[in-house]
Amino acid sequence: MRRSGPNSRATDKSPVGLSQAFEVIKTIWPYLWEFRLRLGVAFALLILAKVAVVTMPWILKQIVDGLDQAQNPVLVVPIMLIVAYGLLRFGSVFFAEARDAVFSRITERAMRRMVLRVFRHLHSLELEFHLSRQTGGISRDIDRGGNGFSFLMRMLVFNIVPTLIELGMVAAILLVNFDLWYALIILISVGCYIYFTILTTEWRNRFVREANQLDSQTNTRAVDSLLNYETVKYFNNEEFEAQEYDANLKQWESARLKTRMTLMLLNSGQALIIAVGMILLLWMAARDVASGAITLGSLVMVNAYILQLFMPLNFLGMVYREVRRALTDLENMFGLLKRTPSVQDAAEAKPLEVTEGSIEFDKVNFAYNPDRPILKNLSFKIEPGQKVAIVGPSGSGKSTTARLLFRFYDLQSGEIRIDRQAIQMHTQLSLRQSIGVVPQDTVLFNDSIYNNIAYGRPSASAEEIQEAIRLANLENFINALPEGVETKVGERGLKVSGGEKQRIAIARVILKKPPILLFDEATSALDSATEKSILEAFDTLTRNHTSLVIAHRLSTIIDADQILVMENGEIIEQGDHQTLLALDGRYAQMWRLQRETEVDNAS
C-alpha cells in the first residue's frame, strides 16, 4: 500500500499557459462542432439577448426625457416607451433562457462523450499503469475534468462571451452619444480590471493547485484505507489511519486558508477599480447635466450602463478564476489521454483464430526492469487439450509467464504463439477472448451473484448462466441463501468465502467458453477441504480445453500432462508427476517438503 507521510507535500504542477489552453480548446472543439447548427442558433439568441439588454438603458433615457415637462409635456410617448422597455426586459430574459436550452444539449452530450473516451482509454492502458497509479486520484481527475468542461462551456457561452459583446456595444453607444472620455473611462476601467484579475489570479493559482493536489492526495488516502479495511483491522491500525488522514487534511486546510486570503485581496482590488470607474463616470455625467450638455435622461442612461456592465464584470472575476481552474482540471484529465499504451495492436493486426489451442513459448526474454531479468530464453510447448502446470519458488517467473500469455506486457525478445500464430501480430481483444482466467484472488463487483457470473459473458441467456452455476458446483451454496442468486457479494466480494469466490470465478469462465484456460495459483489460499471441491469444478472446466496452471500446491497438479519446474526465470526440470519424482531433483524436494508440512498441520 502506497503511503505518504504527514510531512509530505504535494508536488506543484505547472499552470495551464496560453498554449496549453489553446491545446485544451482544440481537443474540446470536435465535440462541439458536431452540434454546429445548435451552436449557430445559440449564438444568434445570445446576440438578440444582448441587443435587448443594451437597448433598455437607451429606452430608459427616452422615458426620463419624455417625462421632463420642460422638454415634452405629452404623456403618450413615454407610455409607449414604458411598454417597449417591459418588452425588452422580457426579451432579454426569454432569449437568454432559449439560448441556455439550446446549448445545454451540446454541453451535456459533449461532456458525456469526452469522459467516455477517457474511460475507454484508461482500460486500453497497460497493467503497469494501473499498478503504479492510485484509483482514487484517477477517479478524482476524471470527475474534476468532466465538471471543469461543463463549467467552462457554461461560463464561455453564458458569461464571458456575452459580457465581452455587451462591453463592445456599450462602448460604441457611449462613443456615439457622448464625449470620447465616457467610452475611454469604460474601456480603461475594464482593461485595468482584467489586467489586475489576470495578474492576481496567476499569483494565487499556485495556492489553488496546491489545494487541489492535497484534495486528491487526501481522497486517495481515504480510498486506499477503506479498500484495505481488512488489513487495517488485522493490525489494529484504525487510529494510525485516522492520524495519517488527519495529517493530510491539515495540509489541505492550510492550503485552503491561503486560497481564501488571496481571494479576499483579489475581490477587494476588483471592487476598488470598479468604484473608481463609477465615480469618474457619474461625476462627468453630473457635470454635463449641470452645464446643460446632456439631459437628465442621459445621466440615467449612463448610470444604467455602469450598473449593467460592472455587475456582470464583477462576476467575471470569479469566472476567470474558475475558468483557469477548469482548464487545469481539463489538462489533468487530457493528460491521461496523452499517455500512449505500451501494449498496442500492430498496424496490420488481425483477429486470432484458435481452432486447436496449442501454446508455444519460443526463447522468451522479459524484464519489468532492464537491470533485473525475469524470464531468460524460456521455451516450452503445450499441445492442444493438454494440462500443463508451472511450479517453482516465489520470484521464479510463474505469474509473469501467465501475464505474458494474456499480453499484459510485451516481450523484450522471443515469441509466444497460439496455434502457430504469434500473439503480438494479432489483436489483443481476440487473444483475450480466447483465454479464460481463474486468478488467485478473485475480485467481485459489489453486485449480485447472478450479475457477477453473467459478467463472464453479459449477452448470455438465463439458462446458460444456470448451467454455469451447476457446472461450478454453486447450486447448493446459492440455494442455501435467503436471496439466492440475487444475494449481494459486497465490496470486492468480502461477503462470500474464498472458496465461493473461486467457484464464481469458475462459473464466469465456463460462461465465457474460451478454448484456453489459465489458472494462476487459483487454490493457493484455500483450505484442503475447499480445495478438493474446487478441483472437482476445475476437472469439469478443463475437459477438452488446453490449460496452463500456475501452481503453489503440488497436490493440485499431479494429473497434469506436463509439469515445468522454474527457477530464476528458467525451466530446470520438465516431465509429468511420476517422472519428476523419479528424477529426485528440485520437484521431488518440493513435493517432500509440502507433504511434511501437510502432515505437521494435520497433527
Tell me how long the chain is: 603
Of the pLDDT bands very low, low, confident and very high (cuts 50, 70, 90), residue 417 is very high
Q: Flag the least confident range among 137-146, 220-229, 296-305.
A: 137-146
Per-residue cell: 367: 524484464
For residue 10, being part of any structural domain is answered with no
DSSP character for 158?
A: I
Q: Flag the least confident range among 194-198, 245-249, 309-313.
A: 309-313
pLDDT at 416 over 90: yes
Q: Give the model confidence (pLDDT) of 354-369 as tens digits.
A: 988 899 999 999 998 8
pLDDT at 3 over 70: no
Same domain, 331 and 367: no
Q: Flag the least confident range among 31-35, 222-226, 452-456, 567-571.
A: 31-35
Q: Which residue has the higher pLDDT, 311 or 191?
A: 191
Q: 156 is in which domain, residue-wise?
A: 18-338
Of the pLDDT bands very low, low, confident and very high (cuts 50, 70, 90), residue 580 is very high
For residue 532, being part of any structural domain is answered with yes
Per-residue cell: 420: 502457430
For residue 4, being part of any structural domain is answered with no
Same domain, 373 and 327: no
Spatial neighbors of 310 by CB under 8 A, at least 6 apart, are 274, 277, 278
Alpha-carbon span 396 to 571, nearest angstrom? 9
R_g of the chain, CA atoms, integer Å:
35
Same domain, 363 and 331: no
Same domain, 329 and 213: yes
Q: Report the pLDDT averaged over residues 437-461.
A: 86
Same domain, 42 and 131: yes
What is the CA angle 554-558-564, rounded to 5? Answer: 70
pLDDT at 522 over 50: yes
Contact 435, 406 (CB under 8 A): yes
Same domain, 379 and 327: no
pLDDT at 293 over 70: yes
**SS3 labels along 70-91:** CCCCCCHHHHHHHHHHHHHHHH
Same domain, 189 and 119: yes
Of the pLDDT bands very low, low, confident and very high (cuts 50, 70, 90), residue 316 is low
Q: What is the mean pLDDT of the chain?
A: 81
Q: Which residue has the higher pLDDT, 401 or 326?
A: 401
Q: Report the pLDDT averaged over residues 404-431.
A: 92
By the 10 Å C-beta count (0-12 exposed, 13-18 middle, 19+ buried), 427 is classed as middle
Q: Report the pLDDT averaged over residues 540-565.
A: 85
Q: Report the pLDDT averaged over residues 255-281.
A: 84
Same domain, 323 and 369: no
pLDDT at 20 over 70: no
For residue 6, being part of any structural domain is answered with no
Alpha-carbon span 35 to 18, nearest angstrom? 26
Spatial neighbors of 374 by CB under 8 A, at least 6 apart, are 366, 367, 368, 397, 400, 569
Same domain, 394 and 327: no
Read off the CATH number of the domain in which 249 is found: 1.20.1560.10
Overall number of domains in the chain: 2
SS3 124: helix
Of the pLDDT bands very low, low, confident and very high (cuts 50, 70, 90), residue 4 is very low
pLDDT at 70 over 60: no
Report for 104-108, 163-167, 312-316, 405-409: range of highest mean pLDDT: 405-409
Q: Give the model confidence (pLDDT) of 95-149 as tens digits.
A: 888 887 877 777 777 778 888 888 888 877 777 776 666 555 677 777 777 777 7
**What percentage of the chain reaches a pLDDT higher than 90?**
15
- pLDDT for position 601: 60
Per-residue cell: 141: 481527475
Task: Say what angle helices 76-124 and 36-67 make with each other, to 10 degrees.
Answer: 150
- pLDDT for position 8: 39
How far the first Cα of the chain sits from its last, in Å, is: 36
- pLDDT for position 575: 93
Same domain, 251 and 220: yes
Alpha-carbon span 239 to 215, nearest angstrom? 21
What is the CA angle 480-484-489, rounded to 5? Answer: 100
Q: Report the pLDDT averaged over residues 534-550.
A: 77
pLDDT at 415 over 90: yes
